[in-house]
Amino acid sequence: MNDIDQFEQPQYPTPRRTLTDDERRLLLEKRIKELRKKKRKERRRSKRPVRISAAILLTAFLLFFLVSSIYALASSGEDERYLVVDLPASNLSAFEDLELTTSEVSVPAIPASSAILMDPATGDVLYEKNVDQSVPMASTTKIMTAIVALENASLEETTTVSDYANAVGESSAWLDKGEVLSVEQLLYALMVQSANDAAVALAEHVGGSEDAFVEMMNAKTRELGLEHTSFSNPHGLDEQGHYTSARDLAEIAAYAMSIPKFREIVATRTYQIPWPGHPYPRVIENHNKLLKMYSNATGIKTGYTLGAGKCLVASAEREGCELISVILNGGDSYWDQTISLMEYGFNDFTHVEFAYSGQPLAEVAVGDFPRRKVNAVGSEDLIFTVRRDRLASYGNASVHYLEWIPYPVSTGQNVGYMVVAPGTPHESKETLVSDEYRKTPNILIRFFAFIGAVFGLWWRGIQWLIPGL
């Protein structure tokens, strides 16, 4: 058979093989999978616009949150910027009746080498003359002697008078060697009689020796921040390196008068101390004649040596106002000079009150996430002793306080200041401090506060877009 014949022969299809049950099952499963795959593709294809929209929204949300976070962080903390508010005097209504003209004010003439008049309640100096000049101070020394004794010994303690104490010359309480007296009795002898022997007896009892006690006196001087005072003995007799100034002595006196027992002693006119071997007690009289001469007098101490001249530290009170004066090397008229100073203070000065210690004057923002606040307050009473012809300058004060300070904030931290009598020679600046402690919050509190701050920005934005919401 040739090739043409072979090609021309009729072709019959190959008979289809019958599939087994297993083959049919496999083909059916394959077809089902293909259909399911096709449907999933169709579903994904139909949801694609929704997924794209969700992605866009999520991206926008994240970007908006990021921008809001950056803004919140950027707005946290602020520059050291002061805000200013006016504060009128709380007793401003009384000024009209109190004002004087300059011609109505009577400034005393004080011939003493050094002099000062001070209001211890406000710290204001009402009169001064050579107030920082270092000079001898005679028995006004004993004010510091009494302070150190009162702060380092109890009144009931007793001590035996030494031969050295008994031998101290000049003013004395006639203490005998071996005599036993209480600290209280020695203090009365010291301040009322101005007894030098009592000064040494107290020094030896309290300090262990006179030198050690003198070092305690000088330590107290440093504690009080006095720059023109040095002690070489506890009684005040002239000695090299023993000096003070009128300003320092007024500060010492003001401190001493804050001790109730000291006030009681220096106001005492007479005092009795038993006197062994005698049929009568020692009766000592206060050397401060001002207690008899001036009805307002309340203390404090006289002094005299050749080097120091006649000295007087005095206190007086009228209508709730107490003043302290110091006359150093005042000559025979030192009593009259003291009274002139006191009358000048009581008649020509008055108190101007703005606020009391701890009274809130402004709010200072503190930290961020969360932001808190403290009050700006005066660390002391913001009260001034003002000469009555200057009242017009004290009607208002300006309170300058920080708008924001970072964590942490301690109680008493400087947060501002108050300016009184601005633009005048009597202008003063008073420090304002925080009234509370604010510690740095922990990280968890700060995180949630930060999130709250971001959403707070959003809410304010919504309120801006939809007014009245």
139 is an active site residue: yes
Q: From the CB of residue 240, how many other CB atoms can be counted at a distance below 10 Å?
A: 7
Using alpha carbons, list the distances in angstroms from residue 48 to 44, 52, 58, 60, 457.
6, 6, 15, 18, 33
Stretch (H or E) spanning 24: helix 21-75
Helix axes 196-207, 142-152, angle to 10 degrees: 30
Gyration radius (Cα) of the chain, Å: 44
DSSP 233-299: -SS----TT-BB-HHHHHHHHHHHTTSHHHHHHHT-SEEEE--TTSSS-EEEE-S-THHHH-TTEEE
For CA atoms 262, 268, 274, 277, the dihedral sign is positive
Q: Dihedrals φ, ψ of 197, to 5°?
A: -65, -35
Catalytic residue among 142, 220, 301, 310: 142
For CA atoms 455, 461, 466, 469, the dihedral sign is positive
47 is an active site residue: no
Catalytic residue among 114, 171, 194, 245: 194
Catalytic residue among 114, 139, 171, 232: 139
194 is an active site residue: yes
Q: Is 280 within 8 Å of 212 (Cβ atoms)? A: no
Q: Which residue bears the tokens 């616009």?
A: 49
List the catalytic residues.
139, 142, 194
